[in-house]
Chains A and B, each alone.
Chain A
C-alpha cells in the first residue's frame, strides 16, 4: 500500500461517494441474506390451500350402515385432506404431494381383476362409476400417529368382487398401485420397492365397511388422494388403504405387502389400528387429529370394533400386528 501522505488528493474517493458505496453494499447484503433465509424457509414450509376441482358424483343414502362419529368429532376440511398426503410415488413430503401429483394421468384407467375367480375382467373408469355410490364418513388413522375424518364417496369392494365370482380356494386379495417412473420421478427417493402392493384376507375384503373410493367431499378423488380409485379400510392403518389401484388378484395365500417387505419388524400384514400394540419407534396409544392441537386416545380398530372385532376372534393381535 502507498504511504497515504503520497496519494494525490485527486485519487482519494470523496467521503460522500465512499459512504454511499458502503451503504449500497450493506443494503444489498441485508436484502440478499434476508431473501435467501426467507426463501429457504419457504421452500420447506407447507404449501398453500388446494382447491376441489373434481367432478360431482351422485350418491344414494344407506340408512343400514352405522358409521356414526363421536359427538366431538368433526369432518376435516378439504384442504387438510387434499393437502397432506402420504403418497411416496410422488413425494415423501406430505405437503408436497398435491403439487407433484397435479399432472398425473388417471383417464383412461383400467383395473385388472383376476386370479382365483370365475370371471376375470377389467374395469375401466366408466365401469367403476356405474356402481351405486354411497357417502361414508370414516376416521382415517395413519400409522405415523395422526388422524383425520374423511367423507369418502365409493362403493363396497364386495360388490366388485361378487361380479368376478371368487373361487372357493380364494382366501386373500392382493392389490397393486399404478407405477410409472416417468410420471413419478421422485419415486426414486421413496426408499421403498415399487409398485406399491397391499393385501387383505378375503373376509376383510368382503366386509361391508371396506370401500373402493372414487371420490371425497362429493367429487371425484384428487390425484394426491389416490385417483381414480383407491381402497379404504377404516379399521386399519392408512397405508393399508392402497391408492390408484390397477390390479386386484384373488389368491390362496397371504400376499406380500410393501411396508412389511420394507421393514417386517415394524409393519405386519394385518396392521389393524390398535392402541395396545405400539410401533417399535413410537406409541400408538394416542393420535393427533388434524385440525386439533391436543391429542386424543386411539380407539381399538379405530372405533369400528363393534363391526369388525369378530374377524379376529382367537387371534393374538400383538403377534399378528
Chain B
C-alpha cells in the first residue's frame, strides 16, 4: 500500500497530533508548569490552536489542487472537528475563569467588548458545521448544499483572526501572521475561481 492510500495511518497520525497539544497542556497543568498565569496561557493556547486548525482545514483544497494530495480530503473533517474542540476549550476557559460561571454577565460582555462579540459569533457559526459533519448529515443535506454551508469556515476564520488582532495591546506579530496566511489561502481561492470562470466561459471577442 502506498503512503497516499493508507487512510488508516493518516487518521491515526492526525488524531494523535491534534490531541497532543491538549495532552501537553493537561500534563503541564497537572505539574503546575503553566507559568505564572495559567488561565491566560490556556486561554491563549486554545484560541491559537482553534485558529491553527481552521487554517489547516482551509489548506486542504489548495494542497490537493496544487500537488494532487487528494488523500488529505479524507482528514479534513477531523481537522475541522479539532478546530471546534479547541474552540470549545477556549470558550469554556473564558466562561469558567474570566466570567466565573456568571453566565448572565456574558451578554453584557458581548455587548461591551467587540472582540468578545466577534469571537462568540465565530464560535456559534462553528456549531452547525460540527453538527453537520457526519456522513448521514452530508447525505441528508446533499453535497452542494453541504458544501455551501461549510463555506462558513471562511467567515469563521476571518472572525477568529480579527478577534485575536483586537485583543493584542500593541505587538500584532502573531495575529498578523495568521492574517497573512488567511489572506493567501482566500486569495488563492479567488484566483482559482476567476481562472475557472474564464476557462469555462467562451472567449469574448
Contacts and interface: CB of A to CB of B under 8 A. Distances in A.
Question: Do A and B make up one complex?
Answer: yes
Given A33-B17, A46-B41, A288-B37, A38 B173 contact: no
B127 interface: no
Interface stretch (A130-138, A189-197, A209-217): A189-197
Interface in B103-141: 109, 112-113, 115
Interface stretch (B65-73, B163-171, B188-196): B163-171
A83 B20 contact: no
Interface residues of B, number: 35
A282 B113 contact: yes
B34 A46 contact: yes
Contacts of B113: 281-282
Contacts of A144: 169
B34 A189 contact: no
A94 B44 CA distance: 13
B97 A33 contact: no
Interface in A119-139: none
Contacts of A94: 36-37
A190 B20 contact: no
Secondary structure of the B side of the interface? helix
A29 interface: yes
B37 A26 contact: no
Interface in A1-31: 22, 25-26, 29-30
Contact of B166 (A48, A92, A281, A291): A281
B172 interface: yes
Interface string A62-84: 00000000000000000110011
B155 interface: no
A34 B112 CA distance: 41
A304 interface: no
Nearest to A47: B35
A95 B1 CA distance: 46
A84 B35 contact: yes
Contacts of A83: 35-36
B36 A34 contact: no
Given A80-B36, A83-B36, A38 B171 contact: no
A191 B112 CA distance: 25
A232 to B, nearest CB: 19
Contacts of A25: 3
Contact of B36 (A29, A30, A84, A263): A84
Interface in A262-300: 262-263, 278, 281-283, 288, 290-291, 293-295
B24 interface: yes
Interface string A202-243: 000000000000000000000000000000000000000000
B48 A44 contact: yes
A38 B167 contact: no
A189 B3 CA distance: 42
A45 B3 CA distance: 33
Nearest to B39: A288
B45 interface: yes
B20 A281 contact: no
B21 interface: yes
Contacts of B37: 84, 94, 146, 288, 290
Lowest 4 A-B CB distances belong to which pairs? Answer: A46-B35, A191-B170, A84-B36, A92-B171
Interface of B: 1, 3, 9, 13, 16-17, 20-21, 24-25, 28, 33-41, 45, 48, 97, 100, 109, 112-113, 115, 166-167, 169-173
Interface of A: 22, 25-26, 29-30, 33-34, 37-38, 41, 44-48, 79-80, 83-84, 88, 92, 94-95, 144, 146, 189-192, 262-263, 278, 281-283, 288, 290-291, 293-295
